[in-house]
Amino acid sequence: MYRQRFLYSLYRHTHWVRCAKFSPDGRLIVSCSEDKTIKIWDTTNKQCVNNFSDFVGFANFVAFNPNGTCIASAGSDHTVKIWDIRVNKLLQHYQVHSGGVNCVSFHPSGNYLITASSDGTLKILDLLEGRLIYTLQGHTGPVFTVSFSKGGELFTSGGADAQVLLWRTNFDELNYKDVSKRNLKRLHFDSPPHLLDIYPRTPHPHEGRIDTVEINPKLDVTDLQTSTPPVVDILSFDSTTKIQEIIKSLWSEL
């Protein structure tokens, strides 16, 4: 049986720490706090090696991109920011939400970022072109968490409506690889992501069902709100993971 062992503490934040994530190679840790800073830590010498503090509010969530050169922050001030940690520079600044941003997830290619917000929407950003490409509306309240699968063909979202939504992406894999290698401008001929399923499958008191799933205009999704606790986090998963196992794990922790 595996036993957890305390290793060390990192001290530099002056308020509650909202999130901490390892870099893909495990060499760095990024953390964000209600002290309105984001800090980069070296796991070898346990020292803070970088600091970002360009915030009106504070970051709720931070994540490394797949190659570990950049981080994305989800701001309580409704913003999403992309930072290059090698040169300590803000690369991109998005204000596409009308509420606080609670979570972000990079596509495995590093070319897309999906965001989850208290305004009830998910947004997909094209990082190569620096623009919003899709707005997804499927939850009936704030969206707290979102995560791409390891292969990038699926993603899940969860929120205050106590539902986990499973989505399929339609990104052209060959297209984004070609764009990365050749630095080409991408044209979006792929169809938008679509909703595959909702978990748990709790019967609605009015026997409502999902009839349509569209992107802009809003989705016609029945109110599935229950008294069940909200979904606040989603584990990383791949295409072989059974979604029921994910949900069971989530609910057992709440």
| Residue 176 CB burial class (10 angstroms; 0-12, 13-18, ≥19) | buried
Q: Which of 116-125, 168-177, 232-241 has the highest mean pLDDT?
A: 116-125
* Residue 217: cis peptide before it, omega within 30 degrees of 0: yes
Structure-block tokens of residue 23: 């870099």
Q: What is the mean pLDDT of the chain?
A: 79
| Residue 161 CB burial class (10 angstroms; 0-12, 13-18, ≥19) | buried
Task: Note the pTM of the prediction, 2 decimals.
Answer: 0.75
pLDDT above 90 covers a percentage of the chain that reads 60
Q: What is the pLDDT of residue 200?
A: 72
Q: Which of 42-56, 181-195, 223-237 has the highest mean pLDDT?
A: 42-56
pLDDT tens figures, 93-140: 999 999 999 999 999 999 999 999 999 999 999 999 999 999 999 999
CATH superfamily of 17-253: YVTN repeat-like/Quinoprotein amine dehydrogenase (2.130.10.10)
Whole-number Å distance between alpha carbons of 124 and 214:
15
- Which pLDDT band, with edges at 50, 70 and 90, does 229 fall under? low
* Residue 142: cis peptide before it, omega within 30 degrees of 0: no
* Contacting residues for 29 by C-beta, under 8 A, at least 6 apart: 10, 20, 21, 22, 23, 40, 41, 43
* Contacting residues for 49 by C-beta, under 8 A, at least 6 apart: 28, 40, 41, 42
Residue 191 clears pLDDT 80, i.e. is over it? no
What pairing do the DSSP bridges indicate for beta strands 131-136 and 122-126? antiparallel
Q: What is the pLDDT of residue 186?
A: 38
- Which pLDDT band, with edges at 50, 70 and 90, does 228 fall under? low
> Looking at residues 240-252, what average pLDDT do you find?
45
Residue 28 clears pLDDT 50, i.e. is over it? yes
Nearest C-alpha neighbor of 166 from the set 191, 139, 190: 139
